[in-house]
Structure 1
Amino acid sequence: MYQINITEQMVDAEPQEIITFDNLNAKVDAQVYFKVKADEEDAKNCIYNVNNYQWQIVNLARTTLRNIIGTLTLKSANSERGKINDELHKTLMSETAHWGIEIVRTELKEIDPPKDVQETMNKVVKAENEKISAVDFATATETVADGQKRAEIKKAEGIKQARILQAEGEAEAIRLVNEAANKYFTGNAQVLRKLEAVEHSLQNNAKIVVPANTELVNVIGEMAGVLPLKREAKEEKK
Structure 2
Amino acid sequence: MIIVAVLALGLLLAVVASLRVLKEYERGVAFRLGRLRQPLGPGVRVLLPGLDKLVRVDLRVVTLTIPPQEVITRDNVPARVNAVVLFRVVDPVKSVMSVENHAVATSQIAQTTLRSVVGRADLDTLLAHRADLNEDLAKSIAAMTEPWGVRVEVVEIKDVEIPEAMQRAMAREAEAERERRAKVINARGELQASAQLRDAARTLSESPASLQLRYLQTLLELGADHNSTVVFPLPIDIIGPFLDAFRGGAAPGVNGAAPAARPAERTRDDD
Specify the TM-score bucket, using the shorter chain as the normaliser.
Answer: 0.5 to 0.7
Match of 2:194 in 1: 145
Give the greater-gyration-radius structure (CA). Answer: 1
Match of 1:30 in 2: 83
Once the 2 structures are TM-superposed, how far is the Cα of residue 161 of structure 1 from its aligned partner? Answer: 9.7
Tell whether 2:133 aligns with 1:84.
yes
Q: If the length of structure 2 is used for normalisation, what is the TM-score?
A: 0.52
Quick check: 1:74–1:113 contact (8 Å CA) kept in 2?
A: no
Once the 2 structures are TM-superposed, how far is the Cα of residue 20 of structure 1 from its aligned partner? Answer: 1.6
Amino acid across the alignment from 1:93 = A
Distance 2:83 2:131 in 1: 12
Once the 2 structures are TM-superposed, how far is the Cα of residue 138 of structure 1 from its aligned partner? Answer: 2.1
Once the 2 structures are TM-superposed, how far is the Cα of residue 137 of structure 1 from its aligned partner? Answer: 1.4
Match of 2:68 in 1: 15
1:73-129 residue CA offsets vs partner (Å, 9 max, x unmatched): 323433543442233222212211222211123222333422211210121011011
Distance 1:135 1:75 in 2: 24
Tell whether 2:187 aligns with 1:134.
no
Q: Which segment is superposed worse, 61-70 or 74-83?
A: 74-83
Distance 2:144 2:83 in 1: 17
- Cα 1:160/1:88, change in 2 over 3 Å: same
Match of 1:169 in 2: none
Structure number with greater CO (CA < 8 Å, separation at least 6) is 1
Quick check: 2:83–2:159 contact (8 Å CA) kept in 1?
A: yes
Match of 2:163 in 1: 114
Distance 1:74 1:161 in 2: 61
Quick check: 2:204–2:210 contact (8 Å CA) kept in 1?
A: no
Match of 1:69 in 2: 118
Distance 1:139 1:3 in 2: 70
Distance 2:195 2:136 in 1: 54
Match of 2:96 in 1: 47
Tell whether 2:152 aligns with 1:96.
no
Amino acid across the alignment from 1:114 = P
Tell whether 2:210 aligns with 1:157.
no
Once the 2 structures are TM-superposed, how far is the Cα of residue 54 of structure 1 from its aligned partner? Answer: 2.2
Instruction: Provide the secondary structure at the position in 2 that maps to 1:96.
Output: helix
Once the 2 structures are TM-superposed, how far is the Cα of residue 64 of structure 1 from its aligned partner? Answer: 0.7
Amino acid across the alignment from 1:86 = E
Distance 1:95 1:161 in 2: 82
Q: Which has the higher helix share?
A: 1
Q: If the length of structure 1 is used for normalisation, what is the TM-score?
A: 0.58
Number of residue pairs the alignment of both structures matches? 159
Instruction: Provide the secondary structure at the position in 2 that maps to 1:134.
Output: helix
